[in-house]
Amino acid sequence: MRLAIIGGGAVGQYLAARLKQAKNGIACDVLMYRPRQETGLSVDSVDGDISLPDFQWKSISAAQPGDYDTFIITTKTTTMEPVGRFLAHVLFSSNMVWNTQNGWGNEDWLRRYTGHQNFGVMAVNFGVSRYSDSQLTHHVGNMAVLGGGSYSARSSMTRLLASAGMDVVEADSEFCCRLRKLIWNVPFSGLALVTGRYPCDLANDPVQLKRIELIMSEIARIAEHQGISIDQDYRQILLDYTKTIEPGWPSMVQDYQAGRLIEVEYIYQNLLKEAALLHITTPHIRHLYHDIVKAMRRQYLDSGGSVGQMLR
């Protein structure tokens, strides 16, 4: 397998570090729009530190059709049209593309934009933060949930991630895979943005914890109506894990703080639309969505932008 990881954020770097440390014979590159000139990548991990002094970053513009057969997207697609343009340029019909991003409908957007069909969801569940361009700290967790794609593609990626020491679960569908990730990201990323508090602080605050549990219950009901079980035990594992992690901002909050576009419509509005189609009331998700839009409106108007620019 010739694998390209698109995006040099914490998730992409951590996946690359795990795969390269495994020395499983897989060619794995990290493609960036502005690749770093220096070499080296290190991870301070609870599962054993990783040091890759010869690690190199590559330019996405240098990639050509046929260079890779599998791609993992770790950067936002619906707010990064260059990703779509790049994939449309390099993809063959046989290539497989896994998307780690949260936005509901990312894969449909990519299918329309590129004309390619082989997309799947990779929901990664681990706590990792970046302290410099080439240094990460891995706090907890090593799970990946795969949904969509062919049986052969899922099996191949499962074997690859397992060889790098990751716990892999194969979900029944893209929908199931997405919900198992959104059940954490929707409450914690959203509330961190509107309250200005870290997820670990929210999880340890009884008032905010109650709101989080109500939002999780609404997402679990959406899943249940589609024949998918996200039981209380799984939700409790996520809550217990969040109470113990070190203070750090989810990627959506980092983008918000930096003034970058965030996938509010693809994450929250599309989830609300799905609930409406299933005739499920979701007042707590809707309340949080409106709080996020208000916060974004203030930010964009304060910076001289227009409200129309902020919703994607």
Statement: 2-171 belongs to CATH 3.30.930.10: no
Q: What is the CATH number that goes with domain 177-310?
A: 1.10.1040.10
The pLDDT tens digits of the residues spanning 275-285 come to 999 999 999 99
The pLDDT tens digits of the residues spanning 173-214 come to 787 788 888 899 999 999 999 999 999 999 999 999 999 999
Q: In sequence order, what are the beta bridge partners of 138? A: 45, 128
Q: Which residue has the tokens 């989830």?
A: 271
As annotated, the residues of the chain forming the CATH 1.10.1040.10 domain(s) are: 177-310
The pLDDT tens digits of the residues spanning 94-130 come to 999 998 877 666 788 888 888 898 998 898 877 777 7
The pLDDT tens digits of the residues spanning 254-271 come to 888 888 778 788 789 889
As annotated, the residues of the chain forming the CATH 3.40.50.720 domain(s) are: 2-171
What is the pTM (predicted TM-score) of this model? 0.77
